[in-house]
Each structure stands twice: as C-alpha cells, then as structure tokens.
Chain A
Amino acid sequence: MFRLRRLYFDSIGVRDNRFSDLTVSLADLDGDPADTIVWLRNGAGKTTMLSLLLALIRPDRRDFLATRVKKRTLEDLVLGTDTAHVAAEWVDPSGQVLCTGAVYEWDGRARPRDYNSSGKDRLRRMWWALHPDPSVEGAALDELPFTLRSRGGSTWRPSAPTSARWPPRA
C-alpha cells in the first residue's frame, strides 16, 4: 500500500487562507514517509488541506470532507483566476514513487456568480498520475510546472503535451 511523502498545493484556497506553492513534507530525515503531525492553528486550513488531499482519492462533490463538516465546497476554494493544483507524492513498499494530482480552473478563468449552485459545473477538473522518471526532465514533484513556479505560464490546456509519460513504462 502507498504511503504519503509529500503534499503540494498551489493557487488554491479562500482569500484569507491561500495555499500557494506550498509543499508539506510527511517524511522523516531519510526521506521516507513517516507518522506526521501537520500543525496549523485553528482556522488556518487544516480541514481544507485534508479535504483537498482526500478529493484526489474520492473526487465526488458529495464526498468533499469540508462540505460535510464546515459547509465549505471545492468551488469556494478556487478563485476566478486560479489554476489550482493539489498534488500528492506517494511511495509504495518497494520504494517506487507515484505522483497524483488534480488541477482545478473555472471555465474562462472567471468564477460564475452562482458558483455554488448551477454554476458549479463550470469548474473544470482534471486529474493526473505519473511515476517520476529520473531520465525525464521535469517529471518529479519538485519540477512539475505548477502555476507559481511557472509564473502562471501553465494555464489550463487539457490537450497540452506533458513531460511525463502516462502510463509509465513497465
């Protein structure tokens, strides 16, 4: 079973609680996934962060944890001009790394007024997964072209070529 080594958030969150180019390590000094306390003061986004992680695994709206416990939706967390990223770096028992991620962006880079009712369907969501290949440049979590890193150059282009291969080579 996979264990979690790092979490990454970019361009996501409500205005007074933004996650921008934020990497959270869950590893010990050897870089192996370890039991971790993610420490944040109350109101700083603990439930939001956990919800975004879980939404990678269960992306259905009704499963969004923060909606159930705090009435906060994924749509609340993606602002109009955001190209929002959530990524997780997993390690399997053999040591192989798997990165999974989601990209969220409002259609036309504008959040509709009714974004929590019928307008919610205009939030475009895409999910990706890759095994970082050391021989491929830019394929590791540290190198992927998230929004802040690429200075906003990596906008939503569903057909854009990616530097990572999926499915990975056997």
Chain B
Amino acid sequence: MNAVVADDSITDWHAALRERRFDPDLFRYFGEVNATEGGIDALFSGIDSAGAFVRYLLAAAANEEATQHQSVVAERERERDAAGMEADRAEIRAGLLRDQAGVLRDVEVAPIAVGFVSDIDADVRAQVHDLAADVDEVDGVYNSAMSTRFKAAEALRTWAGADRFSIVAEDEHGRAVRLLRELFRGDQLFERVAPRAGELAADLENRHRLIGQLLAEVEIHKRNVVTRLAALVDDTLGDLARASSLSELGDDIGPWAGQRFLIVEPRQRPTAEQTEVRVADLIDRMVSAGRVELDTIELLWRATEAAVTDGFRASVLKPAPDQPTGRTPVEDMRKWSGGENLTASLMLFCVMAKLRAEKRTGTRAGAAGGVVPLDNPLGKANYLPFLELQRKVAAANGVQLVFWTGIGDLGAVTAFPRIAAMHKRPSTSRPGVAYVTVDDDASFASRSQVVDVVAAGRRDD
C-alpha cells in the first residue's frame, strides 16, 4: 500500500484519501472493486473499523505482493525452463559444431578467427561441406602441383644430364653451361633453382635465341661453303674432261695420231643438284666427326670423290716403241717400267701444262711448250726406243727436254742433239777447291763416242 501518512491515524488516512496521497494504483484498484459485483460498498461492508480497514488493506497489499511474487516466480520458472532449453540447444549446437569441426580436423586453426558461423545448423553443415570440398579440391590441386613440380625437376635433371651438353660443358668456352648443369643436377634443385626460375628461364630463353641465330648463321655459311665447293667440284670435273681433250695427240706422232693419251671421266657425272646434296652431306659428316679437312687440295679431292659416287674411269695409252693404241687402266701404271712411266709422266706433264696455261690465261692453249728439266731420269729409263718416244712426245707438245745425268750409257746419251758434258777439276792454285768446267770439243757434231769428256751437239734432221 503506498500511502504517505504522518502517523498512521485514521485522520491521516482520511486526509491522505482526500488529498489522494495514495498510490494511484490503489485508486485504480478501488475503481475496479467498485465496478465489481457489490461495488465498493460490499468491499467495505465488512470493514467496521479503521483497524479492519487497515488489515484489509494490508491483506490486500499482501495478496498483491504475493501475486507479484508468484508472477516473478512464474517468470523465473519460465526463464529457467527457457535457459534449460537454450542450454540443450547450445549443447546440441556445440555437438554439431564439434562434429563439423571434426570434418575439417586436418585444417590448421587460424590464430585469429575470421568470418562468422551461421546460426542455422543446416547452413553450417552446408558451409562445412562446401569448405571440406574446397579443402579436398585444394589438396588435390596441391598434390597435383607437387607431383608436377617433382616431374618437372626430374625432367630438368634428365635434360641437363644429356650427353650433348657434356660435350659443350667440357669445351674451354663451356663454363656457363658447366655451371648451369651443376645447378640443375644438384641436390638442392628446389632451393637453388626455384627462387631464380624466372631469371634462369629468361637466361636459357636468351641463350636459346642466340644459339638459334648462330645456327642460322652457320647454316648460311654452310650453304655458302656447299655452293662454292660444289662449284669447285663441277670445275674439277670440267678440268678432267678438258685434260682428256687436251691429251689428244697431233698428226706427227705416228700410230698415236688423233688418239687421246688420257681419258678420265666419272662413270656417271652427277647433276648440279646431286653434287650439292653430296657435298653438303660430306661437310656434315666432317663437322660431326670434328675432322674438317683444311688442306684445300685434299678437301676438293674428297668433295669430288663424294660427288662422284660411282667412281671414275681412267685409262692411258701404254708407251711402247710401236705406240699401241689399246687403252690401259691407270691402275696398271704401277707395274710399268721406268721408261714407260717416264714417257707417260711426260705426256701427263704436257697435258697439265696446257691445262694450266688455259686456266691462267682463260684462252684455249695450243702447244704448251716450255722446258722440262729432269734430274737424273736416265738411271731408271735409258732404253733408247723409249728415249726416242719421249723426244717424239715432247716435240709434239713443243717441249724441250733437259736431262741431267751422269750415266755412261752412250746410246742413251747420244739420243739427244745436245750433250753438255762437264767435268769437275781440282784448282791448280787453290787447294781444296774444284771447278766444274765444260768439255768443249770441236767434234761434237760427229757423235763422238767419248762422251764422258766432251760436250756435243748435232742437228736433228
């Protein structure tokens, strides 16, 4: 009961009522009572004294308080029940979250929580399911990446270990290749290579480009070399044909008149294209083997040999006093006598002299002529008919023969129109000194037999 009274006397209570110093609820209460059956009168019918009124009020207040307490209790009970249910729900949710966390047990816990977890269990399950699927997928991608990296590392090791690089690495200029090989084949491949992979890849790409340029240049050079060498081979085959043609003998040489002393030709002359292909193949083989022929003549010889796959056919006329016209393969020349070989060599010399004169002057040569000086050829070849044949061959080619000799074979020596005989004589005034002097003799035209002491000359008719 909320009333402000001074001394709890009835007067005061009356005054309080008059002045409405009670709790407004009290008046509402009275209003409600008054509206109920019997109204306020019935309420107060049993109140016959102030004390009864007070007791009534106290009882009413106590009821009111009890009612309020009951209400609070009921509220607390409701709250307790609700809390219990909440606790149950939380426990279930905790279980759910634990279960879901278990799904992601392999995922390391982050030091700081990020994001939020949905209040809806189904959503949590869906999220966790999705996350787990994501984790699985990422794991798969990671493992695949690791496998790929391992394979790539093995491939890099295998590539760097290829024999073709070992040749370059051992080269005096192969320091960079050597270092890269050690790096790519080393145990710390990932640690040392991975951080610089981009830089190394760019470096290798650069090297690849430069090597490509160099190879292109080499290819151009090779094409030039092949073109030039093939042209030289063609020239050479042309020279051989021309040599055969120039070896044709004149009419004043007897049975050999009009014959070609030498015939040398490829069994099958290659086309220009065949020559280029075969010469290119030869160059490739020499370069691969690391043995490039640097001697120019030998190189041309090898190129010609490579271009003419079926070999050559070469024959000569075999020198004999009766000048037979049957042809003999050049291989048989090794079995010939000194006189046969000397005569054939003289013929070949004349052919070569004409060919050289043509090549130098660029014009077709007639009889080449010139001098053929020979040192002591008569030791092996003093058969007179051969000497006569040699002189005949030389004359047909306009060549002057000069033989230095010391033999005493008078027949051989007198086969020549001029004998320049000399002797060595000691000096009469200077001890230890000897002079070579000419044995002049007025009888040189008489074909003197004393040829070891005289010089002689005659006129060939």
A residues apposed to B, CB below 8 Å: 1-4, 13, 15-20, 22-30, 33-47, 49-50, 53-54, 65, 69, 93
Contact = CB atoms under 8 A, between A and B. Distances in A.
A27 B436 contact: no
Given A15-B432, A35-B401, A38-B405, A27 B371 contact: no
Contact of B406 (A1, A26, A41, A53): A41
B1 to A, nearest CB: 149
B273 interface: no
Residue of A20, A35, A39, A65 with highest tally of chain B CB at under 10 A: A39
Residue of A45, A65, A69 with highest tally of chain B CB at under 10 A: A45
B358 to A, nearest CB: 13
Contacts, number: 154
Contacts of A15: 432-434
Contact of A36 (B406, B420, B432): B420
B423 A44 contact: yes
Interface stretch (B88-96, B244-252, B449-457): B449-457
A16 B398 contact: no
Contact of A3 (B371, B437, B455): B371
B445 to A, nearest CB: 6
Interface in B429-461: 432-438, 445, 451-452, 455, 457-460
A28 B421 CA distance: 14
A34 B394 CA distance: 11
B460 A28 contact: yes
B324 interface: no
Nearest to B372: A35
B425 to A, nearest CB: 10
Interface stretch (B75-83, B207-215, B411-419): B411-419
Shortest 4 CB-CB contacts between residues of A and residues of B: A1-B369, A1-B370, A36-B418, A46-B404
A118 B373 CA distance: 32
Interface string B151-162: 000000000000
A1 B438 contact: no
A3 B405 contact: no
Given A3-B370, A4-B400, A45-B424, A35 B394 contact: yes
